């Protein structure tokens, strides 16, 4: 796996290349870069490596032998290998897998949270609708209850047939004729009180 960057420890590199020439250090650094770019060992191809280092094949072969003798690189099955680079590449791959797994789990958790929030909102909206419907029904029921008692906030509702005498008296006192087809009428409290007083006086 090619990596756009990798961990590099300058102190370790400087300490590990003490006694090497500038050419050897530069070539060694480039070989390590190639390993990280490739995500593993580099083919032991003199012309290829010499081209990357911008030197002759003869020069690279001399540097190659020097790096091998110092234990900086090894040749395994036709590839140049560096143990530290392989370990770092392996650790980087594990870290990438762990981050991907964490991202996947985080995405699943976020999706679950969004789903739970939608469910909660749905339940809340349903409860709100239910509450509003209940309030509306309660209001209607209260209205029916008020009508059954024949009382309203601004007066008393009378039934033409149930309270015939009182209804007629209230109609006369209010001076507002009620159409014959209208069975119920709300009269003001004053009008009803006067009508009841008249009834009480006539009875006595």
Give the pLDDT mean for 2-19: 85
What CATH class does 1-120 carry? mainly alpha
Q: What is the pLDDT of residues 90-137, one digit of tens each?
A: 887 787 678 778 788 777 777 778 777 777 776 666 666 665 655 655
pLDDT tens string 45-75: 999 999 999 999 999 999 999 999 999 999 9
DSSP H/E element including 92: helix 83-149
Q: b/e map of 103-115 (b: 16 or more CB within 10 Å)?
A: eeeeeeeeeeeee
Q: Is the pLDDT of residue 139 over 90?
A: no
Residues of the chain with CATH 1.10.10.10: 1-120
pLDDT confidence bin for 162, thresholds 50/70/90: confident
């Amino acid at each position: 796996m090619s990596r756009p960057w990798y961990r590099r420890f300058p102190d370790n590199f400087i300490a590990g290349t003490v006694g090497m020439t500038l050419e050897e250090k530069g070539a060694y650094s480039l070989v390590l870069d190639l390993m990280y770019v490739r995500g593993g060992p580099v083919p032991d191809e003199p012309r290829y490596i010499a081209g990357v280092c911008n030197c002759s094949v003869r020069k690279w072969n001399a540097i190659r032998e020097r790096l091998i003798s110092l234990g900086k690189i090894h040749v395994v099955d036709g590839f140049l290998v560096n143990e530290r680079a392989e370990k770092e590449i392996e650790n980087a791959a594990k870290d990438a897998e762990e981050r991907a797994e964490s991202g996947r789990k985080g995405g699943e958790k976020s999706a679950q949270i969004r789903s739970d929030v939608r469910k909660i909102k749905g339940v809340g909206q349903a409860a709100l609708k239910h509450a509003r419907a209940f309030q509306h029904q309660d209001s209607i029921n209260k209205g029916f209850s008020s009508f059954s008692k024949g009382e309203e906030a601004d007066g008393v509702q009378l039934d033409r047939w149930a309270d015939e005498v009182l209804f007629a008296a209230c109609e006369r006192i209010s001076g507002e004729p009620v159409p014959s087809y209208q069975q119920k009428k709300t009269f003001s409290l004053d009008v009803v009180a006067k009508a009841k007083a008249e009834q009480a006086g006539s009875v006595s």
